[in-house]
Structure formats: structure tokens, C-alpha cells
């Protein structure tokens, strides 16, 4: 907490005592700006961030100017330029919504100490004005994994993975653990697509998996191509990723993991307005509404649906952690003892498969 927010808290306290509206360090109006890695119309990652931006306008109306955003910003020098332009043109808070903007965000933030920077999915906070935020998508994967384990008839689940990074590996492990829990015969085949969004590559990966006899496809890539591919083969199901992908309801899309950034964006800009803003490293999940499970369709039997929803609610209530021991690593060595839940540090740097997954993580 820096001096400014201390003062703000004090002022807020005084305000409450005297019933007035003293608000020394708050702001009357906030200009919030957004940097996107893809087009708003991608229907996935960037679309969901833009929905968050619109929610901010909805929540604060005249008190916020959140009309400034830039799509398709490449990483590196271009991101630095866009950020600098935004900082020069009067943005008070800038959200950089992709991991690749990490170094650019920190470099520009160092030059503009009065402007707040919020970097999604990163870990560097070199100066006081940089916060980082992410979402616990592995919580959603646990629910999806449960449905996948119950639904597969061939006992073969396919996973279209993007890049071998902790975020993706966490999702694979969470899916597998929960599929295995409800179906001990379930196996998982992982295909590395080396892309976040490439419909052609994703379709190829889905096709290859279906040919291997996979009948449930989980994807960590953003296009609807795997669902379109699944739709061609009766009995194959999949899940929406990042956004609901409702066009493929009720099957092959039987449920989805939805990124919902609105609660976080509203909270942060609200904090800037009322003066309670402080640097954070935020990592929220189902309980904060940042990870949502899209409607489970009628293609899923009622008991499976009820089981998945109960798991979702248990995670949301904090009574269940998706990584609860006993869990061994792939090589058989112990990771978590019976009843122990995974520390965040282990999860953030996760670079191993859990026991039972076949294949290696590419190095």
C-alpha cells in the first residue's frame, strides 16, 4: 500500500465518520484504456476482455471514459509505442490483456509513475504502478474434466493444447485428474498446436484426435474450429473455450469455460474512482465470478450435470480445491500428500504432468 492509498483510506474513514463525501485521493472521472492482442471479433480471448470493458461503461456511466482500445497489437516495440501513446494521451489506467506485453508494460510503466498499469497473466511488477491479474481457469477445467470422464465411451479424451506453459499444463492436469476420478479407465491424448488461434491448425488437431478414436475433445485454443470438426462425427463432443461458443449447442458443445473479466475491471476502476486503489497480484476463480461454466446442455445426462454443478459449487464455496492430494507426478514421485492442497507457487510454475498422463511435455 503506498502513501497515496493510505491517505485515501484515511479520508474515506473520515468521510464515514462525518457522513460527508470527503474523497481526497479518489478521482472524479477515470479514462481507462485497453490493449488487445487480437480483434474484438475473435469470439474468444479478446472478445471477452472487450465485454469486460463494456461492463465498465455499464457500471460507471459518465464517470468513466472507456472508449479507447487498440486491437491486434503485436508484442515488443509496437506494444511499447501503443502504450506510450495511450499514456501520453491521458489514460489513467491501462489494461494490457496478453502475456506477451509483460516487458513492454513494465518498461512504459517505469516512465509514467502516475498512470496505473494492469497486465493480464504476467508475473512482473517492477514498479508500484503495475498490477497483474489472472484467473484460475484450472477450476473450470476440473468441472469440464468431470463431464469428459463421464461422457467418454471410448475412454479416450483428446486435448488440443496451445503452448507448453504452466497455464496450459495446469489445465491439462486438472482435466485429467477429474476425468480419472469419475472414470478410472479414461486416458488423455495431448496435441500441441503451438498457436492460440489458428482455425486450420486446430481443425487438423481435432481431426487427428477423432481418427485415434477420441470422442471427447477439450481445447485450450480459442477458435470454434475443433467444435466444427466434432460436429462432423456423431457422438463426438467438445467444450466452448474462453467464450460460450453457444452456436454449437446442444451438441457437440455440451458446456464451456467462460473468461469473465468484468468483475475485475469494474472492481479496479471503482477502486481508482473512490481512492482505494492499490497494487495487486490478483488470481481469482469461480468464487469471484471470473471463471464461469457455461450452460450444461441436455446432451449430458441429468446425473452427470448435477455432479458437475455440485463440483462447480464446491469449488466456488472454497470447500474443494481441484489440486488436493494425494497426487503424484508423472514419474511416480510424490507431489502432494493426502489432503494437502497445492500451494499457488507450485501451480504458477507448473512444468510437469501428473501421474497417469502418457507422453512428454515438449521442451
Partner 1 sequence: MFVLEKRPSPSQFWTYATPVLAVILTMIAGGAMFALLGKDPFIAIRTIFWDPLFGEFAFYLRGQLLVKAGPLILIAVGLSLGFRAGIWNIGAEGQYIIGAIFGAGVGLAVFPTETRWIFPVMIVAGAFGGWLWAMIPAILKTRFNTNEILVSLMLVYVAQTILSKAATGFLRNPQGMGFPGSRNFSTYPAARNVELIQESGMHWGVVAAFIAVIAAYVLLQRHMLGFQIKLAGQAPRAARFAGVQPTRLVVLCMGISGALAGLAGMFEVSGPAGQISIDFASGYGFTAIIVAFLGRLNPLGILLAGLVMALTYVGGEMASTNLNLPSAAIQAFQGMLLFFLLAVDLLSNYRIRLLNGRAV
Give the binding site for partner 1 (CB under 8 A). Answer: 33, 37, 39-40, 67-72, 74-78, 80-82, 84-86, 88-89, 99-100, 102-103, 107, 123, 163-166, 194, 348-351, 362-363
The angle that helices 102-111 and 77-88 make with each other, rounded to 10 degrees, is: 40
Report the 10 Å Cβ neighbour count for 76: 12
Nearer to partner 1, 134 or 285 (CB): 134
- Least separation in angstroms between CB 170 and partner 1: 10
Reply yes or no: is the peptide bond before residue 326 cis, omega within 30 of 0: yes
C-alpha span between 298 and 320 (Å, rounded): 26
| Smallest gap from residue 176 Cβ to partner 1 (A) | 19
Output the nine-digit C-alpha cell for 319.
470447500
Which stretch of DSSP H or E encloses residue 205? helix 199-211
Please state the closest distance from residue 26 (CB atom) to partner 1, in A: 26
Of residues 82 and 182, the one with the C-beta less far from partner 1: 82
Nine-digit cell at 22? 470527503
CB of 71 to partner 1, least distance (A): 4
Find, among 92, 112, 83, 113, the residue nearest to 31 by Cα.
92
Minimum gap (Å) between residue 296 Cβ and partner 1: 32
**Cβ nearer to partner 1, comparing 319 with 363:** 363
3-state secondary structure at position 150:
helix
Is the Cα torsion angle 214, 215, 221, 224 positive or negative in sign? positive
Give least dist CB 87 to partner 1, A.
10
C-alpha 171/C-alpha 69 separation (Å) is: 29
Work out how close the CB of 168 gets to partner 1 at its nearest, in angstroms, rounded to a whole number.
Answer: 10
Residue 93 dihedral angles phi and psi, to the nearest 5° = -140, 135
For partner 1, which is the closer residue by CB, 97 or 297? 97
Q: What is the DSSP string of 95-125?
A: EE-SGGGHHHHHHHHHH-TTSEEEEET----
User: Which C-beta is closer to partner 1: that of 212 or that of 351?
Assistant: 351
Closest CA to 45 of 224, 180, 165: 224
What are the beta bridge partners of residue 135? Answer: 284
Closer to partner 1 by Cβ: residue 76 or 318: 76
Return the number of the residue (102 or 357) whose C-beta is nearest partner 1.
102
Amino acid at each position: 500500500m503506498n502513501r497515496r492509498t493510505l491517505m485515501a483510506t484515511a479520508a474515506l474513514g473520515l468521510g464515514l465518520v462525518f457522513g460527508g463525501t470527503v474523497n481526497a485521493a479518489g478521482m472524479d472521472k477515470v479514462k481507462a484504456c485497453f490493449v488487445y492482442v487480437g480483434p474484438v471479433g475473435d469470439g474468444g480471448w479478446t472478445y471477452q476482455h472487450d465485454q469486460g470493458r463494456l461492463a465498465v461503461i455499464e457500471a460507471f456511466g459518465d464517470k468513466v471514459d472507456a472508449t479507447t482500445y487498440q486491437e491486434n497489437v503485436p508484442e515488443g516495440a509496437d506494444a511499447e509505442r501503443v502504450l506510450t501513446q495511450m499514456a501520453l494521451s491521458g489514460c489513467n489506467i491501462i489494461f494490457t490483456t496478453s502475456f506477451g506485453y509483460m516487458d513492454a508494460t513494465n518498461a512504459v510503466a517505469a516512465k509514467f509513475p502516475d498512470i496505473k498499469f494492469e497486465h493480464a497473466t504476467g508475473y512482473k511488477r517492477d514498479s508500484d504502478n503495475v498490477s497483474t491479474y489472472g484467473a484460475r481457469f484450472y477450476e473450470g477445467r476440473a468441472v469440464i474434466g468431470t463431464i469428459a470422464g463421464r461422457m467418454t465411451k471410448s475412454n479416450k479424451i483428446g486435448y488440443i493444447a496451445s503452448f507448453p506453459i504452466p497455464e496450459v499444463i495446469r489445465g491439462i492436469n486438472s482435466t485429467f485428474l477429474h476425468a480419472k476420478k469419475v472414470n478410472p479407465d479414461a486416458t488423455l491424448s495431448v496435441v500441441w498446436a503451438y498457436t492460440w488461434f489458428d482455425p486450420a491448425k486446430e481443425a487438423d488437431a481435432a481431426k487427428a484426435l477423432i481418427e485415434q478414436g477420441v470422442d471427447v475433445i477439450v481445447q485450450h485454443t480459442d477458435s470454434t474450429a475443433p467444435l466444427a470438426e466434432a460436429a462432423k462425427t456423431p457422438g463426438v463432443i467438445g467444450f466452448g473455450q474462453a467464450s460460450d461458443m453457444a452456436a454449437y449447442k446442444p451438441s457437440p458443445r455440451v458446456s464451456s469455460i467462460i473468461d469473465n473479466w468484468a468483475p475485475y475491471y469494474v472492481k479496479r476502476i471503482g477502486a481508482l474512482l473512490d481512492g482505494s486503489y492499490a497494487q495487486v497480484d490478483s488470481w481469482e476463480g469461480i468464487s469471484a465470478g471470473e471463471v464461469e461454466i457455461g450452460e450444461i446442455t441436455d446432451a449430458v445426462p441429468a446425473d452427470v450435470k448435477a455432479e458437475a454443478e455440485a463440483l462447480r459449487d464446491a469449488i466456488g464455496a472454497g470447500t474443494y480445491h481441484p489440486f488436493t492430494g494425494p497426487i503424484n507426478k508423472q514419474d511416480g514421485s510424490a507431489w502432494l500428500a493426502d489432503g494437502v492442497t497445492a500451494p499457488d507457487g507450485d501451480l504458477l510454475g507448473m512444468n510437469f504432468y501428473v501421474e497417469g498422463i502418457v507422453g512428454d511435455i515438449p521442451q
